[in-house]
Structure 1
Amino acid sequence: MSTDEKTPPPYATEGKETKEGLHAEHHVDILHDEVLASSDLMNDAFDGENYEHSQGLWQSVKSHPWACLWAFIMCFTIVMESFDMFLNGNFVALDAFKLRYGVQQADGSYQIETKWQSSLFQAGQCGAFVGVFLAGPVTNRLGYRWTTLLALVMINATIFISFFADSLAVLVVGQAFEGIPWGFFIANAPAYASEIVPLALRGACTATLQMSWSIGSIIVAGATYAYNKRTDEWAWRAPLALQWIFPLPLMVLIFLAPESPWWLLRHGKKEQALRSIERLGSSTNPEGTQQTLAMMERTVEIERKLGGSPSLLDLFKGSDFRRTMITCLMYASQNFAGNLIANQATYFFQQAGMAHELAFQLNLINSCLQFVANALSWPLTAWFGRRTIYLWGTATNVVLLVILGVCASIPQTQQTNYAQACLGIVISFVFAGTLGPISYTIIAETSSVRLRALSTGVGRAAYYVAEIPMIFLASWMLNPTGGNIAGKCGYVWGGTAVVCFVSAYFGLPELKHRSYRETDILFNRGVSARKFKSTVIDVRENE
């Protein structure tokens, strides 16, 4: 029944609101502090949360196809960080690049010195470290859309520095400036994706972040394979120029995307939040839209009562400190379970004894297999819990990394060289199907809604704090001018992966099928990580 067929609803004079009055031409939005006292809205919130719990993966896809699309587009911004990260890993394997910037070895070949090799990898990460700290406050003020658009403008400009660089020093500076917008992308993409999709889709949609990494690596592998035979500067300038194909189309799409309704509600923009929910789902179901809105308002109000306006210091207070630590550990652990082998795959294959041309071919195969593994991770997130996937993925890579070390320790033959190369590919495949994508899901689900933009930024900063020294270590272990231990690096990464496994076993909770309200309650109660899955939370509890 429409409002035209009834007398004016009570919210018009008493500051209250009904479902029918939500779309009235003139109305007063209910104040956030009245949400928990409104029986109508609370019943809607109960219904909305119960409905989300009842939805399966495919049902959610059919009811929210646009949410899936916008989540994927936002996650696709990560392609630019992936592209550049893998590009640097391939530059040090390009003959033309090594001849221009490398130093001659005793055997007459040229190699990029370890200090410059690690600087190329680290510069972008240092810039991104700055970017992730800027991303949280800027996003809290501007929203996910406008912050991402700002970052896309920035990266379009900073690519010029790298493209026109005529020395390693300038190239390093260019990478550092490009890294700043990377920080915005990686901080915002998982947070935005997790906020706009239904509960059943959170795992699959946030896992597309890892797929974006794989897409970037495939493009790089294809481009460097195509140009690796060139002997002039275009062997590396042409792949650098390919970065310009991403920002403009993404700017158009992000401009058209809806803002996160959670962000809009946190900033008192209820009507815009309602329109955003309608755009993300189905505007033909006003009752379902109202229930979703009420569910969100309820969670926003509970968190507001607990913490007020968000600040960086809040991340380290009370139960939010535990959530911040989990987010940081999940991000940092991505550097400790063999992933850095994939980041320097071509160079790793060369040091494992593969011929120059074959190393580039294997890198392309490795990148394509990572994409396949990412796709396989989607049903995995629907069938298994986040904790289960992470622990089994880590345990599998521990075994494979130790075997890699053993293969490199015995007398070397062509067979052991191929075995090391194959193990490197399998390790990357396991990471891309388990640890990599599920880490982003865990990160997006762990933080409170109120602190999500800040939490993902600080968590990614922890990633860079761990990655920067690990990149130097990875480069030193593979480089003939450094440790030159090739596949024996499996022992090192196997040991660090064991630390990740133990930390996750005791500290990583299971958040599958948990609404943000339920997650808040579990952390506020201090429930043990291993008891998250079995603890029952009633739909009417407002802790």
Structure 2
Amino acid sequence: MSQPVDSKGEGLTPEVEAPQVVQGADLDEKAGLKDYKADAMEAEHAEHNMTVLQAVRAYPMATFWAFVMSFCIIMESYDVFLMGSFVALPYFKQEYGIPHGDEHVIETKWQSALQVSGQLGALIGVFVAGPLTSRIGYRWATITGLMLLNAFIFSFYFAKSLPVMFVAQLLEGVPWGIFIANAPAYCSEIVPIQLRAPCTQMLQMFWAIGSIIVGAVTYVYSHVHDPTAYRIPIALQWMFPTPLAILMFCAPESPWWLVRKGRLEDAAHAVERLGRRSQLNSGETVAMMRRVVELEKETKDPTFAELFKGTDRYRTLIVCGVYAAQNLTGNLIANQAVYFFQQAGMSDTTAFALGLITSALQMIFVMLSWILTTYFGRRDIYVWGSAVNTILLVALGVAGSFPRSTSVNLAVASLGLIVSVLFTLGPAPASWVIIGETSAIRLRPLTTGMGRASYYIVEIPCIFLASYMLNPTGGNLAGKCGYVWGATGLVCLVCAWIWLPEMKGRSYREIDILFKRRVQARKWKKTIIDPEDDE
């Protein structure tokens, strides 16, 4: 027989005085816990039974604030695609390039350095974001990043040499790291289960919108032969930070973050700001959050070291792997779309037009992916999308292996466009949902930061590789780069098939339990979790 326990979980001996008092306190506490758990179960049950439209009606402002936070991603997307377009911009090449035949080209080392500089800064930013957000919250961390970005744009705008541009991009990258680490976590925390997929996938949509803006601006200025050809696109970055900072100041803090800090009344108020008071019970919703936070509770503050202990190691590796795979499955073709089309034999005008078309199609396909991921899950869309992507990359390599001709150039350009667009229908948007759902609530700011760090760690050498493969002074592979990305894409596909679980329709409590029980990834879909379980 087990020994009796008191309210602190300590063993009682027969000699304990006033057993009735202890027993009474114990019963009161158990009654309180029972009521609190009942509220939590009721809120979770309500979220499970919501349809997508009911969730939108119940949480209209949650969708809006997820939209605002996702908008911050435009700034990183804008600048990443901007640097990719600058190396193809005629006047920029003339001013900062070296002669190569009848034209000027940016040297391979500087082409790679300019594209990698912002990512180096972002790598610093994601490690800053975790501790900063854990301490001051998503809102103030994001506002801090937006104000820093306002200042750092000046250094880029007034730069007159490639080394200064490199440093300017490095500085701009720091706030990007804060945005990209916080956005998927914040979006997944402020919406109910049914809206986690579309709201986190907005990040990919805004990434596409950033590339559309760049494509339109650089297309207009591709015929300009003075410094405004690249200075005006740089200056346009000032459109975003200040309005977004004002909106984020007005936004509610994540109620999950507030519950982690013990601010239950503030959390209830945040829930009421996110949804319609007539359609939700903020007390029950906060109880559901408390239940998960208690399940993960630790007495010490979260640290990066915890990300690689116990089951959290598996969760961290999933986030890191999904982030890293974005660079290993041909995504860099999309990031350098204009330059890729030029090396595929298209004229400057056609290359810029195709780059703009690619970005526009990406945005449309991201919106289509909302339906797929919401109704068909994450794992299937990610795995099968990766499989199709790998096949197309190999086909791109085959097309690029034929002797250059008009028909071969068109085939290579078409396959490059298809790869870039279909990537945003399956693997890319699904990855944002996976990133937002996988990490433990307590470690979420640190996990998303670490995951994005793995993205940059893999992206930096990949940028050098991609630039070398496409540059005529380097490998000059053009479409044959598909063989390289097809091989790395196949590795990512196999890893996803083995280790990526299906989290569609799961509450954060259920996700915690499934990880702690070490259920195999392919069995998640069929595993049933009892509403009473707290293990």
Give the TM-score normalised by the residue count of structure 1: 0.92
Letter in 1 for 2:214: V
Q: What's the CA shift for 1:308?
A: 4.6
2:41 alignment partner, SS class? helix
Q: Within 5 Å, give how 1:464-479 maps onto structure 2.
A: 464-479=456-471
Letter in 2 for 1:304: K
User: Is 1:460 aligned to 2:460, yes or no?
Assistant: no
Q: Which residue of 2 aligns with 1:417?
A: 409
Letter in 2 for 1:520: D
C-alpha contact 2:153 2:172 (8 A) present in aligned 1:
yes
1:284 alignment partner, SS class? helix
Q: Which residue of 2 aligns with 1:357?
A: 349
User: Is 1:223 aligned to 2:198, yes or no?
Assistant: no
Q: Which residue of 1 aligns with 2:274?
A: 280
User: Is 1:44 aligned to 2:39, yes or no?
Assistant: yes
2:126 alignment partner, SS class? helix
Q: Which residue of 1 aligns with 2:282?
A: 289
Aligned CA RMSD, in angstroms, stands at: 1.3
Between 36-45 and 222-231, the greater mean CA deviation after superposition: 36-45
Letter in 1 for 2:115: F
2:526 alignment partner, SS class? coil
Mapped partners of 2:113, 2:45: distance in 1: 51
Q: What's the CA shift for 1:309?
A: 2.8
- Alpha-carbon deviations, 1:309-339, whole Å to 9, x = none? 3111110111001100001000000001110
1:35–1:280 Cα change, 3 Å: farther
2:476 alignment partner, SS class? coil
Mapped partners of 1:119, 1:263: distance in 2: 37
Select 2:246's aligned residue among 238, 245, 252: 252
User: Is 1:404 aligned to 2:396, yes or no?
Assistant: yes
Q: Which residue of 2 aligns with 1:334?
A: 326
User: Is 1:203 aligned to 2:218, yes or no?
Assistant: no
Q: What's the CA shift for 1:377?
A: 0.9
Mapped partners of 2:534, 2:348: distance in 1: 62
C-alpha contact 1:338 1:493 (8 A) present in aligned 2:
yes
1:361 alignment partner, SS class? helix
Q: What's the CA shift for 1:411?
A: 2.2
The percent identity for this pair of structures is 55
Q: What's the CA shift for 1:487?
A: 0.4
Q: Which residue of 2 aligns with 1:496?
A: 488
Q: What's the CA shift for 1:62?
A: 1.2
1:145–1:301 Cα change, 3 Å: same
Give the TM-score normalised by the residue count of structure 2: 0.94
Letter in 2 for 1:423: L
Q: Which residue of 1 aligns with 2:7?
A: none
1:215 alignment partner, SS class? helix
In structure 2, stretches of 5+ residues that fail to align are: 1-28
Q: What's the CA shift for 1:282?
A: 1.2
Mapped partners of 1:489, 1:121: distance in 2: 18
Select 1:88's aligned residue among 83, 91, 101: 83
Mapped partners of 1:416, 1:36: distance in 2: 74
Q: Which residue of 1 aligns with 2:22?
A: none
Q: Which residue of 2 aligns with 1:512?
A: 504
Q: Which residue of 2 aligns with 1:5?
A: none
Q: What's the CA shift for 1:467?
A: 0.1
Select 1:269's aligned residue among 248, 263, 267: 263
Mapped partners of 2:424, 2:250: distance in 1: 30
Q: Which residue of 1 aligns with 2:359?
A: 367
2:297 alignment partner, SS class? helix
Q: Which residue of 1 aligns with 2:19?
A: none
Q: Which residue of 1 aligns with 2:17?
A: none
Q: What's the CA shift for 1:410?
A: 1.2
Letter in 1 for 2:284: Q
Letter in 2 for 1:66: M
User: Is 1:186 aligned to 2:184, yes or no?
Assistant: no
2:504 alignment partner, SS class? coil
- Alpha-carbon deviations, 1:23-62, whole Å to 9, x = none? xxxxxxxxxxx79952111111111111111111111111
Runs of 4+ in 1 over 6 A off after TM superposition: none
Letter in 2 for 1:145: R
Mapped partners of 2:283, 2:132: distance in 1: 29
Q: Which residue of 1 aligns with 2:297?
A: 304
User: Is 1:141 aligned to 2:135, yes or no?
Assistant: yes
C-alpha contact 2:435 2:448 (8 A) present in aligned 1:
yes
1:293 alignment partner, SS class? helix
1:36–1:201 Cα change, 3 Å: farther
Mapped partners of 1:224, 1:57: distance in 2: 38
User: Is 1:525 aligned to 2:514, yes or no?
Assistant: no
C-alpha contact 1:159 1:244 (8 A) present in aligned 2:
yes
2:502 alignment partner, SS class? coil
- Alpha-carbon deviations, 1:401-439, whole Å to 9, x = none? 111111111122111111111111111111111111110
Letter in 1 for 2:343: Q
1:296 alignment partner, SS class? helix
Mapped partners of 2:413, 2:249: distance in 1: 43
Mapped partners of 1:323, 1:284: distance in 2: 36
1:204 alignment partner, SS class? helix
User: Is 1:433 aligned to 2:428, yes or no?
Assistant: no
Q: Within 5 Å, give how 1:434-453 maps onto structure 2.
A: 434-453=426-445
C-alpha contact 1:67 1:197 (8 A) present in aligned 2:
yes
In structure 1, stretches of 5+ residues that fail to align are: 1-33
Letter in 1 for 2:250: L
C-alpha contact 1:400 1:423 (8 A) present in aligned 2:
yes
1:497 alignment partner, SS class? helix
Q: What's the CA shift for 1:533?
A: 1.1
Q: Within 5 Å, give how 1:36-185 maps onto structure 2.
A: 38-105=33-100, 107-185=101-179
Letter in 2 for 1:394: S
1:177–1:189 Cα change, 3 Å: same
Letter in 2 for 1:354: M
* Pairs aligned (count): 508
Letter in 2 for 1:135: A
